[in-house]
Amino acid sequence: EAGVVQSPRYKIIEKKQPVAFWCNPISGHNTLYWYLQNLGQGPELLIRYENEEAVDDSQLPKDRFSAERLKGVDSTLKIQPAELGDSAVYLCASSLYGGRNTGELFFGEGSRLTVL
């Protein structure tokens, strides 16, 4: 069975440019997460979806970040405009949730963003 798939793996852009990351979760996983991981740090939650609904986006910087999961499967995370401080790895994860977070997440390999 395929795991969580993310693309692109690497992206280099200049500041003020837009960027988008795509995630395809494990089939049948209702819950999808986007995490931010800075160098030497643990992942920090940006947004969590239950099917199409964003149930926790309290840590998403909404002035420049946006996310969508239109059909409750794939998801896209966008940054516009990107800033130097956005350089990090963006992780997507999915889980079988069903109303209770078990903490058992399946992660993709991440998308490494470098903003010049």
Partner 1 sequence: GNSVTQMEGPVTLSEEAFLTINCTYTATGYPSLFWYVQYPGEGLQLLLKATKADDKGSNKGFEATYRKETTSFHLEKGSVQVSDSAVYFCAPLGEDKIIFGKGTRLHILP
The residue ranges that bind partner 1 (CB under 8 A) are 3-4, 40-45, 56, 91, 93, 100-110
- Cβ proximity to partner 1, 20 vs 26, nearer residue: 26
Q: Is 85 helix (H, G, I), strand (E, B) or coil?
A: helix
- Cβ proximity to partner 1, 12 vs 55, nearer residue: 55
- Cβ proximity to partner 1, 43 vs 67, nearer residue: 43
Backbone angles phi, psi at 85, to 5 degrees: -70, -5
Rounded to the nearest 10°, the torsion over CA 36, 37, 38, 44 is 60
CB of 94 to partner 1, least distance (A): 11
In this structure, what DSSP letter does residue 30 have?
A: -
CB of 96 to partner 1, least distance (A): 13
- Cβ proximity to partner 1, 53 vs 70, nearer residue: 53
CB of 101 to partner 1, least distance (A): 5
CB of 95 to partner 1, least distance (A): 10
The b/e string for 35-72 (b: 16+ C-beta within 10 A; e otherwise) is bbbeeeeebebbbbbbeeebeebeebeeeebbbebeee
